[in-house]
Structure 1
Amino acid sequence: MYGEDARTIAELSIDDYLYPDADLYNVSGLPPLALPPPTCDLSRGRWVFDNVSVPAYREKDCTFLTKQVTCLANGRPDDMWQYWRWQPNDCALPTFDARRFMEAMRGKRLMFVGDSLNRNQWESLVCLVQPILSKGRKKIVKRGSFNTFYAKEYRATLEFYWAPFLVESNSDNPNFHSIKERIISPERIESHAKNWKDVDYLIFNTYIWWMNNADIKVRRPNSKYWSENDEVPRIEAYGQVFKTWSDWLNDNIDPARTSVFFMTISSPHLSPQNWGNPDGIKCVKETLPYQNYSQPLDLYHDMRLYDLVVNVARSMEKVPVSVIDITKMSDYRKDAHTGLYTFRQGKLLTPKQKEDPEKFADCIHWCLPGVPDVWNQILYTRILSKSSWHLILAPLHPSPCLFLPNENQKGGVGFCWRM
């Protein structure tokens, strides 16, 4: 059931699967939702200070957060990063409505697949929806590569599945894996992908684990040992992985049931000279977003990987893939990372470790509440645009794929917006 093992199932009472009040909640009485037109590029805009409507939840009120991302509890002295709302240039971004979202999730499975940044986004989504769920009718079960949040009143699950390269690798154990000796098997995906079948919403990512070296160690086909590998240029290995991934989707996913999304690069902030702070150390002591919107901020992303994802999505005719571009908006948020206020190997950073921020500051993951809440706001907008119960504002017939310009790219490469 849902790919969990017998021990997990044994822990769940029969009440977890029988829901006499499953139809108690509905959104029929809510006003119609005004969705942005598909021509509006939600990825282009600005961060607006707003201490009234955000954050959508409080850190202390979401007991499901891991200690890695609870920056206030971990001693961060400022809290300004929480009070910024994303405003697209040409339309309004709907506020996340947990009840409306969970109605769309009724009887469904949503699964994030990827690395710890997708887990960061999964935690955010759990915190966004959990306030409307009754006490005792919500829980998280963690087993191996699966983290599963059960929303019992809706017969729904919000899941995270650990697969940092999407394909098989020597880093597939979420608790024990190599950092320096990462090896992938780009043609092998089934051990992961068998767990993605029968999911209604799949949200993928993979990027940050590719950035340690210019070359990636690739296990030789048909070899028995990870030690039998060759070093391959990063972009070449990335292309091999996405060939395997897209082929699997085409062969195994029913687009009438499953919607597929891909999250673009989540921005690490490692080089403060890029945003005009040559004396800074990574994201340490940053308390405000970068706000010079007329001056592009180059954070040295490998945009070849971004382009490759876009092009693969563009080519997916049988199983549409919606690319959710979070990169530009996240670039501005140098202030919102966990930094020195996080856990490392199960413990808070020690005072001595904090004295060495170049080594120990985490400028990759995000404090919650924070930036991943906005990613989920966009995901929410996309899902409601697709939902069959939203008959008036979201037509059921497929609409064309619009390729919107991407200002980061030379040559005007865009991303696929499917409604």
Structure 2
Amino acid sequence: MKAIKRYLLDVKNIIYKSKAKVALFSILALILLITIPPYFYPLLHQLLPTSSSVNVRTSVMYRSCDIFKGRWVRDPKAPYYTNESCWAIHDNQNCMKYGRPDNEFMKWRWKPDQCELPIFNPAQFLEIVRGKSMAFVGDSLGRNHMQALMCQLLRVTYVEDVSPTTDYKSRTWLFRAHDFTLANFWSPFLVNANEAEPNGDPLNGVYNLYLDEPDKNWTMHINKFDYVIISAGQWFFRPVIYYENNKLIGCYSCNQANINNLPMYYGYARAFRTSFKALYGLNGFKGMTFLRTFSPAHFENGEWNKGGNCIRKTPFKSNETSLRGFMLETYMTQIEEFKDAAREAKRRGLKFRLLDITEVMLLRADGHPSIYGHWPHEKVLQYNDCVHWCLPGPVDVWNDFMLEILKMESLSSFFSHIAKRAKNEP
């Protein structure tokens, strides 16, 4: 570590003193890119202040590679943790515990078309986020994502539950050895919502959504976090009544007379618009926001409450399925709102980044719990689960993506700072 520090300091001094700064920067950038291991990226920030960074899709390493476009390929080394080695797996996603007979769904990795996507390295991740904090905001799929990350990190370290509440839906964890805080905030609609019929059907009950009011369950706490991963989806297909400016404006699937029927995408778009606006408008918030795009469900031979199930054992190939219908519309609704918000965030000096997992996960109908989220004799409210993801399973790729983006942010910030200093040095 000391040798690396000395080396980097020498690089810094050479760049600042050289008369041929532009040429030297190009050479040294290439040397650093090739020779410095990724887990030293955070060290670069200790030596030089950070500055504005470029988007991952136009970064130095991914100028010609979209990491979200590719295919699933066999990975005989997977999985990299098990349900027995990770206590953080929610029972409903603990497929092997509840008797899933096959394990092939765990033995795949994502291969981008134009480059390689490294398998998640927990030690590397922890070095990048040392002294920082990360929050997941959304529904149970957001919690599914967070627990996948927990399982990866628990391979190399320990964690403490430091939650200020007993609510299992919103938890806070501390990785003390790295001073890294990980939290999730339960907010399935992202905006202020309540049950229109508190004693109604827990799975089909009607909800009131106040589309211009962000949910204080997360907005009151989020300004102190360095990274925020925001997501939402399946709850918006429930019957909901829409309000704006405290006035009823319509509903989706509420089957109530004299109420204007609006599409699901109306409420979905405005909920994200309100949430993004809350994020870039929060006083003191300097963190990076990730939108994790819509996670597809895979019900076949019936709807979720009418016998639909997901029984595939292997991924789809890209020519076997495509994003269409309501899934395409849901995805595009998110993307359009994200684009607008990202432009405004950039104007304010904030970073919005995209975890574009929708088409990636569309191919993984084999990775859901189905009937293996409980024992056969147990009485449960849920139907066959083709929404959430088994752990270990395909959902682990979300963290492969997230780590790669964080690495590129660290590296591009470093190069951007050196270039700026070299340009301004007399």
Matched pairs, number: 349
1:79 match: 103
Indicate if the aligned counterparts of 1:27 and 1:99 stay in contact, CA closer than 8 A.
Answer: no
Per-residue CA deviations over 1:55-100 (Å, capped at 9, x if unaligned) read: 1211110011121111111111111111011111111102211111
Q: What residue is the counterpart of 2:25 in the other structure?
A: none
Kindly indicate whether residue 247 of structure 2 is the aligned counterpart of residue 247 of structure 1: no
CA contact (8 A) 1:130 1:138 kept: no
Distance in 2, matches of 1:28 and 1:305, equals 51
Alignment of 1:11-410 (within 5 A): 32-33=37-38, 36-52=61-77, 54-134=78-158, 137-139=159-161, 141=163, 143-144=166-167, 145-170=169-194, 179-189=204-214, 191-192=216-217, 193-212=219-238, 216-219=240-243, 221-222=245-246, 232-252=262-282, 257-271=286-300, 282-291=308-317, 293-298=318-323, 300-315=325-340, 316=344, 317=346, 318=348, 319-343=350-374, 348-350=375-377, 360-387=383-410, 390=411, 395=416
Q: What is the CA-CA distance between 1:285 and the residue it aligns to?
A: 3.0
Residues 377 and 221 of structure 1, relative CA distance in 2, 3 Å threshold: same
Tell me the percent identity: 24
Residues 246-282 of structure 1 deviation map (CA, whole Å, 9 limit, x = unaligned): 2212311667x31100011111001359xxxxxxx64
TM-score by structure 1 length? 0.73
Letter of the 1:154 counterpart: H
| 1:296-324 CA-partner distances (Å, limit 9, x unpaired) | 43464433332232222222333332121
**Alignment partner of 2:365: what SS?**
coil
Matches of 1:164 and 1:171, distance apart in 2: 12
Q: Which has the larger radius of gyration?
A: 2
Q: 1:373 to 1:314 in 2, by over 3 A?
A: same
CA distance in 2, matches of 1:171, 1:162: 15
**Stretches of structure 2 lacking an aligned partner (at least 5 in a row):** 8-34, 40-59, 420-426
* Higher RCO (C-alpha 8 Å, min separation 6): 2
CA-based RMSD:
3.7
1:351 Cα deviation (Å)?
7.5
The offset of 1:233, in angstroms, is 2.6
Label 1:90 to 1:321 Cα distance change in 2 as closer, same or farther (>3 A). Answer: same
> What residue ranges of structure 1 are gaps of 5+ in the alignment?
1-22, 274-280, 399-419
Partner Cα separation in structure 1 for residue 418 and residue 92 of structure 2? 42
AA matched with 1:85: R
Q: 1:363 to 1:28 in 2, by over 3 A?
A: farther
Query: Cα offset for 1:48?
Result: 0.8
Does the 8 Å CA contact 1:217/1:232 hold for their aligned counterparts?
Answer: no
User: Would the alpha carbon gap of residues 200 and 282 (structure 1) be closer, same or farther in structure 2, given more than 3 Å must change?
Assistant: same
The one-letter amino acid of 1:373's match is: D
Q: TM-score, normalised by structure 2?
A: 0.72
d(CA) in 2 for partners of 1:130, 1:78: 25
Instruction: Report the alpha carbon displacement of residue 244 of structure 1 after superposing the two structures with TM.
Output: 1.7
3-state SS in 2 of match to 1:303: helix
**Aligned-partner residue type, residue 236 of structure 2:** W
What is the distance in 1 between the residues matched to 2:378 and 2:6? Answer: 53
Specify which structure has the higher proportion of helix: 2
Q: How far is the alpha carbon of 1:221 from its aligned partner?
A: 3.1
Cα distance in 1 for partners of 2:84, 2:289 equals 32
